[in-house]
Amino acid sequence: MLFTEDTIGEFFEKQVEKAPEKDFIVYPDRNLRFTYKEFDERVNLLAKGLLSIGVGKGDHVGIWARNVPDWLTFMFATAKIGVVLVTVNTAYKSHELDYILKQSDMKALAIIDGFRNVDYVDTIHELVPELRTQERGKITSKEYPYLKHVIYIGPEKHRGMYNTNELMLLGKHTPDEELIKVKKTVSNRDVVNMQYTSGTTGFPKGVMLTHRNILNNGFYIGDRQDFTEKDRLCLPVPLFHCFGIVLGVMALLTHGGTLVMLEIFDPLLALAAVHKERCTALYGVPTMFIAELNHPMFDMFDLTSLRTGIMAGSPCPIETMKRVVKDMHMTGITSVYGLTEASPGFTQTSVDDPLEIRVSTVGKKMENCEVKIVDIETGETVGVGEPGEICCRGYNIMKGYYKMPEKTAEVIDEDGWLHSGDVLTQDENGYYTVVGRLKDMIIRGGENVYPREIEEFIHAMPEVRDVQVVGIPDEKYGEIVVAFVIPEDDVDLKEEDVRDHAIEKIARYKVPKHVFIVDEFPLTASGKIQKFKLREQGVELLKKKLEEEPEL
């Protein structure tokens, strides 16, 4: 039996009744606080405002924004009225936005001013020039026939757009009965969220997730961290994908705790937020934790309130995990393995697991779902310790990719198993270990090389801060192993140091043929390392290297 069969709106309102005056959301850098009750009132105003401009059940509303306070207002307001929230990656530019506006059949898009070097207001005016000439709320766009509204998140006014203040005002003048009526029509099997996969292979696909998917997965993720209403979670990861929404917001909501939010990740702000708000949990991808640990002001902050959290999103270096436990007091840190298509959790470690298990595995399978590892060629379940593709079946599996039935059929088989494309092993105690992605696996002269194994090995060198291993094409071997290494500060690390260390300790075919010393890795907006870009860089760097030092 699942934890809940409520919709997100129903569950949230029950939590409001339990602890109306408890902090739900805190932005410590601007001293902004919403209690459960205050936030619910704001959500209801926005929900009614959306209804008043003709946005209702089944419609798709996009949000293209940093973790601004009203990001979550939109999330809960759309959930209450049966609207599908389409989350747009903050790093997207006009080409990607054009694709998502069309593919998702978006009726409304909520935006902020911009992010980094992208001006969102200019971008949307460039794509939808009709905004400048047509009455707001009545857009008729040749390129985007579904699009009727653009909403600016904030008080500023822009031609052709509503802003959130105006929608709240419209909500004040809309009878509560309209909201009550539509809430009764929403089912927990309805799609509540659509997130686009990164699209490193082919076009991005809209993953359709339901209330039931993400609310329950969030609960089990919070349970593995022993969350209670006393927990205060510092959440510096973006809300536009599952790490933020499910591992963060849903895990916290289902246990009645407090969200301590950051608009964008900054290691100093994250450390200060934990210190100021006495956070008990902290999330991040490995690069975020590395940035925090290596910040020159790290020692100024009191992090003793921390006890748990999640490091996930990409393989977690064992040495980094150990430092987080020792120096950040996160003795109960966990890691989650999963995919957006599984809402996202397949497996997770628990605060009760021994440290060596938590730093070397991704834990046991999540509650109320099935997990198996199959041979990549035959599809047969493999034995203990044997690598294979991990698959999952259960309540957490997506409804499918939006308007892509053939792509859905490629990843969900006839028996309902979601095929991950990831290679893992399972030990005799049920703990899973990530070996690599099928497409990340390097095949060198017929030998299978799993990047994770080599990364862990090199990462143990005290001079190495971070490392990523990829395969690049080679005429002789098919592929060769290449390592990108970020050294520790003030360390003069050379390629031969890494290679000499490896030659002594690991099989020759696993030793990186080339090592490139770099300052940073290419990242997605959510902090994941883009291995395909590293592969491209490796090809270029090797070409340059061979031109400068021709091999004899």
**Chunked in runs of 10, what are the mean pLDDT values of the chain (552 residues)?**
97 98 97 97 98 98 98 98 96 90 98 93 96 92 96 95 97 98 98 81 84 98 98 97 96 98 97 98 93 97 98 84 96 95 97 93 97 94 96 98 96 96 96 86 81 89 95 88 95 95 86 95 87 93 84 48
What is the pLDDT at residue 369? 97
Would you give the DSSP letter of residue 7?
-
CATH for 34-196 is 3.40.50.12780
Closest CA to 163 of 150, 180, 148: 150
DSSP 136-175: TT----SS-TT--EEEESSS---TT-EEHHHHHHHHHTS-
Distance CA 435, CA 426 (A): 10
Is the separation of the CB atoms in 388 and 382 below 8 Å?
A: yes
Residue 552: the pLDDT is 45
What residue type is 324 in one-letter code? V
* CA nearest neighbour of 131 among 116, 112, 144: 144
CATH architecture of 442-548: 2-Layer Sandwich (3.30)
442-548 and 34-196 share a CATH fold:
no
| DSSP letters for 55-120 | --TT-EEEEE-SS-HHHHHHHHHHHHTTPEEEE--TT--HHHHHHHHHHTT-SEEEE-SEETTEEH
Domain boundaries, the chain: 34-196, 442-548
* Distances 228 to 15, 28, 232, 281 between C-alpha atoms, Å: 13, 21, 9, 11
With contact defined as beta carbons under 8 Å apart, do 204 and 92 qualify? no
Helices and strands of the chain, counted as H and E runs? 18, 29
Q: Residue 251 and residue 185: Cα distance in Å, rounded?
A: 25
Q: What is d(CA 46, CA 50) in angstroms, rounded to the nearest whole number?
A: 6
How far is Cα 282 from Cα 305, in angstroms, rounded to an integer? 10
β-pairing verdict for 84-87 and 191-196: parallel
